A and B are shown apart, each in its own frame.
Chain A
Amino acid sequence: MATPAVPVAVDMEFAKNMYELHKKVSPNELILGWYATGHDITEHSVLIHEYYSREAPNPIHLTVDTSLQNGRMSIKAYVSTLMGVPGRTMGVMFTPLTVKYAYYDTERIGVDLIMKTCFSPNRVIGLSSDLQQVGGASARIQDALSTVLQYAEDVLSGKVSADNTVGRFLMSLVNQVPKIVPDDFETMLNSNINDLLMVTYLANLTQSQIALNEKLVNL
């Protein structure tokens, strides 16, 4: 193993401290590996990786390219494998892994919201009221629908060749709007609207009642 030209130091004390503190909050989490910003793996990474192989079995090394080489922020992951001739000098090689991103529901909603800062001039967005959000969500569906319509028209006019799988998806999409007898739907809609109106009325009544109570108590 070649000695690195510039020595690098990792504050092991600090790492241990932070891990202890973190374990107080989430006692079930384990160290899986380590990350570093930078474009590629360097000789220092080998040393640090060796240190981490003591903390975790087969640690993962994650690189996040914040210097944006190739105009992208590439996120890569590696594990170390031994290579070389057995019995003689052995070396360490970093083999790349495929990186997949998974979200759980609330996380995805949070990320969607945060992503909106990409589109605003000073990278700032506010949190909107509920009805505005419904408007926003339906606008998104409208966009999706117009894309689909465009595709359908292109196929009909012969610009794009028809694809069977896409066609099948579209048909199942159209069939998903449930066919309900109009009278039944009318009753369902009305009862739901009545429920909601009643609840709104009750909420307003409660609020005025406690305001009244406040006034009476302070007499």
Chain B
Amino acid sequence: MASRKEGTGSTATSSSSTAGAAGKGKGKGGSGDSAVKQVQIDGLVVLKIIKHYQEEGQGTEVVQGVLLGLVVEDRLEITNCFPFPQHTEDDADFDEVQYQMEMMRSLRHVNIDHLHVGWYQSTYYGSFVTRALLDSQFSYQHAIEESVVLIYDPIKTAQGSLSLKAYRLTPKLMEVCKEKDFSPEALKKANITFEYMFEEVPIVIKNSHLINVLMWELEKKSAVADKHELLSLASSNHLGKNLQLLMDRVDEMSQDIVKYNTYMRNTSKQQQQKHQQRRQQENMQRQSRGEPPLPEEDLSKLFKPPQPPARMDSLLIAGQINTYCQNIKEFTAQNLGKLFMAQALQEYNN
């Protein structure tokens, strides 16, 4: 991931047109409000992302790619994208930055938008709130103000409805990441809760007229039967998997809480050090005897205070748990609707 960070940094500096476009579109972006209110995606991008996962993604591996487009007022228009090769550990001489530069140069030749506006990633059952994603999105958002990350969930899509979400880091989280200070005090000062880490940006899909003509043509030529996966009742497997992942995360969270509790206990024990009291008593005795009091040594020199555990990980875990819970709730709402429909059908039958 480190080379990708450098890549986006150098991309932003070398293609100065990116900064220009971002600057033109910024407008009220600097007021602390989010710079992007809506993401407008071309149909082409959606299909390309689906295709990329279908062909190159297996199991829990994620596929990633770069989004290209423009910023118009407070809308982020994504007009094209290209996939990123998988990270192969044995192919160490593969240069990510060069690949990106080559790709963007070539696309400029055929008059495709070549400005970086974000990146996309596929996810496995909704588990995308990781440190890696945070780092990547931070470096993108730092270089390009309006960038988003599109999360595509292929398994949920296969169940009947396209699952594509756009996320950005909230301004507060951006500040914290800039400082690179993840200790509890800094996070408490910034007052970040797990709900306020990522903000979701609404997505709309827009097509050109020519594409609409193509759609009509396709509909005529290939009447593919609708399989109605959306209305299938047998989707408890998906729910089971989600719950399994949720349980794993909750376990991690509880471990984290135990660590934090031990830390708190250690600090409080230290602060109540008998040493301090003995020193004070000795000082009083010495004063009563008229001798100069012993200097109260700084405790931190004698006993090293325990390290506060990094709070970023637990924040990420909490955010992930939250995402899982949201997914589960959406899923149950859907299924309840379907069950009631089935009930109505059966009642009519009898």
Contacts and interface: CB of A to CB of B under 8 A. Distances in A.
Partners in one complex: yes
B209 A131 contact: no
21 contacts: A25-B84, A100-B222, A101-B221, A109-B158, A109-B161, A109-B162, A113-B161, A115-B219, A127-B164, A127-B203, A140-B226, A177-B345, A185-B346, A189-B339, A189-B343, A192-B335, A203-B325, A203-B328, A204-B325, A210-B318, A217-B184
B193 A129 contact: no
A200 B103 contact: no
Interface string B203-216: 11111111111111
A138 B103 CA distance: 43
Given A107-B47, A123-B212, A189-B342, A137 B231 contact: yes
A206 B321 contact: yes
Interface in B224-278: 224, 226-231, 236, 239, 243, 246, 250, 253, 257, 260
Interface of B: 40, 43, 46-47, 50-56, 83-85, 94, 99, 102-103, 106, 109, 154, 157-158, 160-162, 164, 184, 187-188, 191, 193-195, 202-219, 221-222, 224, 226-231, 236, 239, 243, 246, 250, 253, 257, 260, 311, 314, 318, 321-322, 324-325, 328-339, 341-343, 345-346, 349-350
Given A111-B47, A117-B206, A126-B202, 13 more contacts: A17-B106, A24-B94, A25-B56, A74-B217, A102-B222, A109-B158, A109-B162, A117-B207, A117-B212, A131-B333, A134-B334, A193-B336, A218-B187
A104 B227 CA distance: 11
Nearest to A219: B188
Contacts, number: 210
- Chain B binding surface SS class: helix
A180 to B, nearest CB: 7
- Chain A binding surface SS class: helix
Contacts of B229: 105, 109
Contact of A106 (B103, B158, B188, B325): B158
A18 interface: yes
B204 A125 contact: yes
A165 to B, nearest CB: 17
Most chain-B Cβ atoms within 10 A of its Cβ — which of A25, A75, A131?
A25
A105 B51 CA distance: 11
A193 B157 contact: no
